Amino acid sequence: MTLIKSISGIRGTIGGQVGDNLTPIDAVKFASAYGVWLKENRKKENYKVVVGRDARISGKMMQNLVMNTLIGLGIDVVDLGLSTTPTVEVAVTLEHADGGIILTASHNPKQWNALKLLNEKGEFLDAIEGEKILNIAESDTMNFAEVDDLGKITKNKAYIDLHIIEVLDLDLVNVNSIEEGKFKVVVDGVNSTGGIAIPLLLERLGVEVVKLYCEPNGEFPHNPEPLKEHLTDLSEEVKKHNADFGIVVDPDVDRLAFMDENGNMFGEEYTLVACADYVLSKTPGNTVSNMSSTRALRDVTEKYGGTYEASAVGEVNVVNLMKKNKVVIGGEGNGGIIYPDSHYGRDALVGVALFLSLLAERQMSVSALRATYPDYFMSKKKIQLTPGLDVDGILKEIETRYQNEQLTTIDGVKIDFAESWAHLRKSNTEPIIRIYTEAKSQNEADTLADKFIEEIGAIAKL
């Protein structure tokens, strides 16, 4: 059982001991710290926070704890109920709110939940802001509102529809061409809020929808991380229904992956590549992704005369570099599309609309589209952390051993070889070391990853 406090929010497993897991007491403590920080940061008379959740079994309990904590601080709450992470982000700005909280553990299994914290722009807090909240949580200085100054809760269930309207209004979303394409798509909503939002968006675009696991009951039918090995049912449904392609999202709908008409993965890493290809063809410019993302985005960006740069892992890091470089599109190779013309947050709804616009324009199958991009193969492996393991020391030793290669150390250690790369880092969301590699074949990528796993194991025993 685990409680992780990081740049990605307060995340943990439900139940167990206070301080070791995400218990009701921990939820109240960190929601209180966020509310206190928000009031100190904004310095206003009245405050408003938007709160939504994915469909996790623990979500309603967690949301009620968080909302009632905020009103106890004198902060008004807009309750979106079942929602998506990008929908909450959009709602913060439309509500002119002071911040937002999403109750979701993204791709983690059902026993996990988390508080994802947003600022007044609907964007994730940076490391400095997060550290302030953690310090407040451990202090005894939190003051709550008196009875006449309590906040109030207002329910608003319209925001998924409003979010869809915002997506359809984007200049590059070609609604007419998509409607004329008469697409048929299978949607795996992993029994969370993607099963609400994605079919609604597709129907508004004139797409025939086949629903798979779209009942938002929080009983994930498979591991909710949208990877090939978890999506055999989607593959079968795409072939069975003779669909043009399949869509899968994670439980809070900020990650997006596609499956082609043959039931083969388009490649999670290539979601951003394809969307960037479309955006860059209309609005040439620069791109950003994180260090663990495919080189294919660099290749596509340079084809259109732009510049590509990689950030540290973590959405806020990607966003900060996107703003600095004035990029036209960016995101993360895990299927996270960040399109500044919409908002600075990973958004599967935006990704679906851009991808469909690309398909409608090129009038080609999803497998044929994939064949137009450079072939890179990635291996994503991990090592479970054990108490007392000196991760920083291990990574420092790797850095020393490969000092004659091209190294980047802003986030763990990334080693760039001529035809491949390896990125080793401590996860923000799980007690693991991630080992991501990319090469010109799957065998080369897997072999490279296994080499580093063996090397880490040897170092850990020194």
Tell me if 193 sits within 8 A of 82, measured CB to CB.
yes
Instruction: Determine the Cα–Cα distance for residues 51 and 85; give it in Å rounded to an integer.
Output: 10
Q: What are phi and psi of 235, to 5 degrees?
A: -60, -45
- From the list 162, 208, 201, 207, the residue with the least C-alpha distance to 349 is 201
Q: Which residue bears the tokens 């909710």?
A: 224
CA angle 260, 106, 451 (to 5 degrees): 70
Expressed in angstroms, the distance from the first to the final Cα of the chain is 28
Catalytic entry in 8, 58, 106, 379? 106
Beta strands in 74-190 (DSSP E): 76-82, 99-103, 112-118, 153-155, 184-188
- The two structure tokens encoding residue 314: 């973590």
Concerning whether 83 is annotated as a catalytic residue, the answer is: no
Report the run of H or E that residue 276 belongs to, with start and end: helix 270-282
Burial class (CB in 10 A: 0-12, 13-18, 19+), 462: exposed
Sign of CA dihedral 132, 133, 134, 137: positive
Contacts (Cβ under 8 Å, ≥6 apart) of 106 = 8, 85, 114, 250, 251, 252, 254, 255, 429
Collapse the DSSP code of 102 into the 3-class scheme (helix H, G, I; strand E, B; otherwise coil) and give the result. strand
- Which residues does the annotation mark as catalytic? 106
